[in-house]
Structures are given as C-alpha cells and as structure tokens.
Amino acid sequence: MTSPAQQLPPGWTAEWEPNHQRYLFIETATGQTSWEPPAASPDGAALDVGASNAAHHKRRQYAAGQTQAYYGAADTLGGGGGYGVAPGAPAQQGQLFTPGLAAENQFQQQQQQQMQAPGQPPYYSGAPAEPEYINGHQAPVYSQANTLVDQFSQMNMAGQKGLRLYTTNLLTSPPDPRELHRPPPEIVLPPNSCVSPSPLANADYTYQRCTLNAIPTTNSLLKKSNIPLGLVLTPYRSVKEGDEPVPLVTDTVIARCRRCRTYINPYVQFIDGGNRWRCCMCSLSNEVPQLFDWDQVRNQPGDRWARAELNHGVVEYVAPTEYMVRPPQPAVYVFLIDVSHSAIQSGMVATATRTILENLDRIPDENGRTKVAIIAFDVSLYFFSIPAGTTDSTMLVVSDVDDVFLPKPTDLLVNLSEARASLESLLGRLGDMFQDNHVIGSALGPALQAGFQLMSAMGGKIVVLSSSLPSIGVGALKNREDPKILGTSKESGLLQSATPFYKTFAIECSRAQVSVDMFLFSAAYQDVATLAYLPHYTAGQTYFYPAFNARTEDAIKFAHEFGAVLAQPIMLEAVMRVRASKSASLSYLRMSSFHGNFFVRSTDLLAMPAVPQDLSYAIEVQIEDTITAPFVVFQTAILHTSCYGERRIRVVTTAFPTTSNLSEVFASADQVAIATLLANKAVERCITHKLEDSRDALFNKMVEILQAYKASMTAAGAGASAQLAISENLKMLPVLVLGLLKNVGIRQSAQIPPDLRAYAQALLTSLPSQLLMPYVYPTFYSLHNMPPECGTVGEQGVIMPPPLPLTSERLERHGLYLIEDGQTIFLWVGRDSVSQLIIDVFNLPNYEVLRGGKTTLPVLDNPFNQRINAIVQKTREMRRGPYWPHLYIVKEDGEPALRLWALSCLIQDRSDVLPSYQQFVSQLKDKVSVARHTVYYGWLTWSHRLMAVTTKPRVSDAISYFMRSHTVSWTGMI
C-alpha cells in the first residue's frame, strides 16, 4: 500500500501524529498544516489552503512637484470580496396535500420528492457568490461526487461532507480586513433535517448568529475548545434595499408545541399522514391546526408548503386576542427638553425643536393614534397645554420639583394628527420663549417623573434632551470626576451608578412599558455612566454629543441622528424569550447570561418596553446535558405591539448541526460573533470588577483558545513550536481582541474622561455586529491611487476602495486616505500632497492654506471630488443604524492631538503603552507556550513592560483635540 507521503504534490510532507492516529500534512514553504490531504492542481502543484498575501506596491501618483492627472490608474490589493446575492427564481409548486386523505407514507414520500426532485430551480441552490469561507480564498478541486454533496449542502441537506479545517500561522499571516466582510462558516445540516428546500429556512446571520456553527455534543468538548458558546441577536434589524422582507402571517393560525411552546418552523417533522407534527425542540407530537391548510383569503384549500413559517427562518405573525393583556396601545412620545442657559446658548434647543418640527411627518402615525407631549425643564418644569383645532398653546409652570404633579388633566398629551397645528406653532417659538433664560441647573429627575405620570397608563417612549448635570430634586448628581483615580483600580466606580434612583426609576418604567432614550450634550462632566442606566434597563439607547455647538457640523450630525430615531418604527410592550433544543426530560442547552438593553423579568424572559431597530443583544449558552440529536434549534420569539396598533409576534429560528469532532468545532467558529460576545462580557466585567480585570480576561481568553488549538489540532501538541497556529476562519480574532483592548471603553489610560469611556461602553454593548466591527477594527482606504471605478455607481451602489491593513506603514507623504470607525471619519492629507489634489478635493490653492478639523467636504464640479464625496456618503449610509459620523480633515503636520487621534485608529501600530499587532502576537505566542495558570497577569505585565521602554510620543492626548474642538477643558482621551 502506498504511503500518503508518496502521494503528495511537491512541497508537502506527511507526518504521523500518534495522539490523533492520523497523518498531518505540512506545506514546507509556509509551515501551514492540514488534516486533509492537499489537492493537486493540473500542473502538479498543491493548491493553496490559506490566504495569499498580496504584495504592496507603492505607486506615487501624486509625486512631489508633479501635477499630472491622477484619475484613472491605481494600484490595488487584489479583488475585493463581493456582497452579491445569488439570483432567485420562484419556488416549484408541490402537489396539494389534504390531511386525512393520504395513503400510508404518502406524506413522507411527498416531502422527499419536494426536497430531492431533480431539476430544482436555482432559487433553492443558495450558491454563494464567494468561495467557502473556511476553505480560504481559493476553493479546492472536488470530484463529481463531492460536487453533488456541495449542491445538497446548499439546500441544508449535506451528505457526508463536514466542515474542513485549515490551519494558518499568525506569525506569518497578517490580518486581511476583507475577512470581516465574509459570511460566517457554512451551517451544514444533516439530510432531511428541514421540511423545506428554501435557502431562507435558516434565519440570516444578520438577525441571529452563533459563535459556533456546529454545536459540541458535550460540555467537555466545548471546554476543550475554550471557545465561548453564545448567540448574538438583532431581531429587529432594519430592512434595506435588496434585503429580503420579513414575511407576515395574517391568518392568526399559530401552531405551537403544547409542552415547550415552540412555534412551528422549517425543522419540525410531519407525522401521522400530515395530521400531526413533531416538535424539533422537545420531540412532542402535536396536532396540526384545522385551518393550517386553508387559504382564508380565497376561502379554499391552501398549499401547506407555501406557508411562510415552513419556508422562512424569520417570520412575523399577527397575534390573535389571546396574546393581548390589554388592547394594543398607541405610540406615545414625550419630549423632555432642557431649556437651561447652557442648552439655549449651545443651540441645542433650537436644533432639537427644528428637527422635531421637520420630522413630524416621519413619526409613525399611519393609523392616526400617535400621541405627543412636550415638557421643558431647567430648575422648574414647563408643561404645555396644546388644545386640538387651534394654533394656540399655554405654558404651565410647576416650580415645586419636590412633589411633582400634572397641572392639568387634559391637553398635555395630545393626538399628533388632531393637534398638528398647535404643535407646529409651539415648536416654532419654543426656542424664542427661553431665549433670555439665564437659569443654571437641571431638574431632570422631576421631569422624568412628570413624563412618567403623563404616559404610565399607556406606555411609550420618553425622549430626553439634556445639556447639564442633574442638580435639582430627586436624581440630583454631583461631579465625581477625579483625575487622580483615572487609570487606577478605583476607576470602575466611576462607571457605576452614583445613585439608585435611575436604576429604580428605570425598572418602574419597564413595568409600565415606558422606554427612555437619552440625548446628552454637556460641555462638562454629565455622568453618562449613571444616566445610561435609564436606556439600559428600558431597552432604549444613549446618544452623546460632547460640548455640542450648533454653529458647527454638530447641528448636522444631531439633526440627522435625532430625525432617524424619530422616524424609526418602534416595537412597543415587547417581551422576548429564546428557546433551544431539549430532550423529553432535560434541556440540552440553557441561556445562562444575557447582555444588552433590557430588563430580565424572570429566568429567561426579557422585558423591552420599546424596541428600536438595529439594537443588538448577546446571550451566553451553556450545554447542560449530552446532546444526542443530529442538530439543535435556537428560536427567538418577540411578542410586541407595532407602532401602528397591531399585536405581533416575530419568530427567528436557526438550526445548527451537532458534532463530536473538535476540528469541526474550530472550523465552524464565527470570529465576528465571538468578538461581539467578548465585547459584551468585557464591559460587564469592567463594571462589576475592575478595568484591568476586563483586559486580563480578554487577553486570557485569546490565549486559552490558541492553547486549545495548539494542543488538539497541531503536531506540536503541548510542546514548543515556532508557529502560532489558529484555524483560517479565526485568524482575525486576535486583531479584534487587540482592537477591543485599545478601544476607548476598555483601554488602559489615565487620561480618558469617564463620560467618554461610559459612552464607548454603551456602544460596545448595543451596536449590531455590522457596526461593532468597524468600531473595534476601523476601515482604512487609500483614495489618491484607488482604482478608477471606486467612487462610481455600480450594480451594488457606490463602489468602495479596497480596505488596507490598519498600519501607518501604508501612509505615503503625498497621499490622501480615509480612516473611519462608524462614529468618526478622518480624511488624512499627506504633507507632500500636490496642489492639484488640494484644488480638486478642497477647492483650495495648496496644502499650506488647508485647515484641519471638523468640516463638511465641498461638492465641486470635477470627477475626483465627486468620487470622494460619494465614498464619504456611502460610508455614512451603508451600515444600519441612525449614526452620522463627523468628518475631520487631518493634516500630516497639523495639530498633534488631532493627528494622534486619527493614528490611534490604526490599531496594528504600537501606541503609548499598548503594543503593535506583531508585538501582541509575539506575546500571545510566549503565553501559549507556558502553563495556563501563569497567564492571568499576562496583559498587565506586557503593558507595564511597554510603559517602561516606550520612547514614542504618547497617544493619551489623542482625543484632547476632540474635546478642545468642542471648547472643552478635558485633557485628552487615550
């Protein structure tokens, strides 16, 4: 018999691994390893199993002293990953099934015929536009039999094909930013697990994704991998152009399991001639509802296989009356507007009232039931009586803030449609009414109590716009910012609530179905950490505008974000529960911990008074018992009232295969979901423990994953190795962890203001993955030499440049670059940029007259300027969420603080006491090689060592410009 070593293509060797009783294949040139025999190309060379690193060629298209045309030719890193969607075609119509009239086994045969019929239309093939993610950038050559397996796997019927594991060496494989735009590893379900061949039977990963796309069958196997098991949910993800809309079931026929209350989904089994269905969670047999196969619109028998709940992983039901505790309530908005001296002088009141006025038509009110109230406050409360049918309004002043009461029983909370004229008149003159107000102080707590009294009977949303630290009445706060404790173990105390009022009041609001959104504008300390408790426990969101100044671009940013929040459809009176597969007597999987903006009402019931779009949640999952099923199902159900007065249930269902193979566990890991879960856990640990504990926990978790992979998946095992091995689909995880360690919410620094750190932590725990990834690992584009098609409109919209690695090695002195993290956009201008570039982009004669700072890019009549503007606009609009990033011009030799702030986004560089990516990976390698119990202080020791030897300029002042540009006296961020 020929040995494997004699059958390998050139450049490969095979070594027998006694621990695993199998051969390990090693590519001698790169050191990459694989358990699978390498496929050979026709010329005899082995196909690459890892990503090839494109060479970086510097091309001076704007060389010093030259003014040649720069549009057109460009260098690129290579083909970028596409977002293309496989073309669809209508589903085939199956034979109509009538329960009770089927012969024995006819129903099961019909199912199999529909799933395995030859000539299936391309709509069900689900062929991805990109190569299989876990197989690297170049797809292996399969035999004809493997091609058939691939085709069936795309229909959720993978035969014997499993996830293939490829190993990469982190020491020789630099991060590729395009990896973060690829879909997670494929979910390969066993044959016949789904009753529908639809590619939409599993929920899209933008709604619900798991850290592992193959669930270990035992908790010991999960612990052996050291990968945390968890779900990342965005159940009300916004639907953009090109997205599949969520189907709506309107016949009020809702089939649920009698025991575990699971909703019927594509992974149940029909038995007893189709008259009953077996639950995919607990295996209980349930009766099919009588009207399940009846088309109530046409009043005739319907096609069961065409029902949305059997073909879609995300579906929404119109709920019948038994799902209502009370009739659906109208959408209610109560605006609490700070009218103190600082709020008036900054222009916040004028901008806020104008934005509300301009967006009255966008506030959800299709059924004409939406109600609105406006309460102004400084050290007193100002109510406005807004009678319907007139343009008059009356201001009622309540000066006793210790005993808040409503001065009038009616006309304070009014119907938006009926009182439209009065509202427009009031909003138009509210700023002028308080124009000469010189009162300093804020009775925010009493204002919140007044708003709660107005709407507690119905529920709804309180929108707070506050410009100063609460100082009067209940909920008054003191300035507790102390520079001496920043960067010490006591700093975590500044991230906790200073008073129990806001948490207690938030829980009271949650019980009354009242949600709170906070818009904060203070020029000084405002205690964002305490005020953020209100949105945190009421399913709201916090927005922070430090030292807001309406005379700058701040007004544009706030007006855009505030208008987007007002226009969002909101889900009222919501409760959410996540279910997972179980046996008849025991639960396989248990939701053990929850992260996000909600209140945990019972063990697994999450209360959300008003759920905004694009808010993310993370749930840790624990394996309770050995899983014997071939696949498991997670189902998220949210019962809510739409803002149009309809009680609905949104159900998100995802099925995952189970595995007892550790290599499949690693091959199925989703690095984006893991990083999202780790970010939530890190923020929680910052608050409950110390900031350094959070940083150590992040570093240790990365070390543990690498140790587990090295011990189980490489030939070195527990011994020394010259490599730092990880699976190909996890090679961006170390740089994401480094990005978290360098993020403002977690990073080690004695210069970050507590408000800025608290707001960053609020973003880390609420942003969906699509927004969180650039916030942790920013995007970096070269604009001066981008390909000619970039900035023009293609089939998928504006074509973006290829992203660059986050290192200053890519900066050229004559170049123009864009760096963005989803919250801020930097336009970096090199000092040797030629005059023609400055003229075409900024309409200025040369580099010397260009001013750095916050700006709006001019729109000029030349192609290059239009392309740059299109890229900036696409950057602001391409992601979900209301955020509108500021644009800063950064000159290479400009103000040091602004320049260092922009450079701090290049996280692969060394900055201050924080290591570069290469140093970080080297430290990981050192820790992986030693015993696990010595790891705990690894990150702290590494940071202190860097602090002792660093000679580079400090980056701790990087956001001092950010604060000074808002006329703030804070001394820096990092």
DSSP string, 776-803: HS-EEEE-TT--TTTTSEETTEEPPPPP
HEC string of 336-374 equals EEECCHHHHHHCHHHHHHHHHHHCCCCCCCCCCCCEEEE
Q: Report d(CA 140, CA 157) in Å as an integer.
A: 20
User: Residue 639: helix, strand or coil by DSSP?
Assistant: strand
| Among the listed residues 496, 504, 544, 489, the one whose alpha carbon sits nearest the alpha carbon of residue 520 | 544
User: Residue 137: helix, strand or coil by DSSP?
Assistant: coil
Residue positions counted in the chain:
974
| Among the listed residues 873, 282, 180, the one whose alpha carbon sits nearest the alpha carbon of residue 586 | 282
Residue type for 291, please?
Answer: L
Helix (H) or strand (E) holding 276: strand 276-278
DSSP β-bridge partners for residue 619: 231, 594
In the block, tokens 């119907």 appear at 415
Residue 46 confidence (pLDDT): 44
C-alpha 18 chain-centroid distance: 43
Residue 405: Cβ within 10 Å count: 10
Residue type for 628, please?
Answer: T
Helices and strands of the chain, counted as H and E runs: 24, 37
DSSP β-bridge partners for residue 154: none
CB 203 within 8 A of CB 654: yes
CB 241 within 8 A of CB 252: no
DSSP β-bridge partners for residue 641: 572, 647
| Among the listed residues 323, 199, 178, the one whose alpha carbon sits nearest the alpha carbon of residue 252 | 323
Residue 844 confidence (pLDDT): 95
pTM of the model: 0.82
Residue 480 confidence (pLDDT): 92
Angle at 50 between CA 48 and CA 55, to 5 degrees: 90
User: Residue 88: helix, strand or coil by DSSP?
Assistant: coil
Residue 320: Cβ within 10 Å count: 12
Q: Report d(CA 281, CA 583) in Å as an integer.
A: 8
Residue 217 confidence (pLDDT): 95
Residue 938 confidence (pLDDT): 47
Residue 517 confidence (pLDDT): 97
Residue 650: Cβ within 10 Å count: 22
Cβ within 8 Å of residue 893, ≥6 positions away? 831
Residues of the chain with pLDDT under 70: 1-7, 16-22, 28-31, 39-162, 584-586, 716-721, 931-974
Q: Report d(CA 879, CA 242) in Å as an integer.
A: 13
> What digits encode the pLDDT tens for the residues 776-801?
999 999 999 999 999 999 988 999 99
Q: Report d(CA 858, CA 394) in Å as an integer.
A: 44
Residue 21 confidence (pLDDT): 60
Domains of the chain, CATH where assigned? 1-37 (2.20.70.10), 248-323 (2.30.30.380), 332-477+517-569 (3.40.50.410), 778-906 (3.40.20.10)
CB 365 within 8 A of CB 416: yes
Residue 720 confidence (pLDDT): 60
Cβ within 8 Å of residue 399, ≥6 positions away? 380, 381
